[in-house]
Amino acid sequence: MNEDNRRKLWILIQEAGLYLVGQLPSHPNHPKGRNPYAHVALCVKEKFGNSYKDIPDEKFQEVVDYISFLKENPS
């Protein structure tokens, strides 16, 4: 992914994480609460098979749409 798209995705991940603060369901492995920023980044990595930095530019809009989906469906 080119540098400009990486920056845009990182900002979207941060915004989604901030939006999800306190909204993720509790989990026994996280007794002090879940980290929504890590949650979004991990979900992106699991869905696309790469860190957001390493996803091809052609999938930029698909990643943006997925981050929006994560905001709408905190689980």
Q: How far apart are the first and last CA of the chain?
A: 27
The predicted-structure confidence for 14-39, as pLDDT tens digits, reads as follows: 999 999 998 888 888 888 889 999 99
Four-residue CA torsion sign, 33, 15, 73, 38: negative
The predicted-structure confidence for 36-55, as pLDDT tens digits, reads as follows: 999 999 999 999 999 999 99
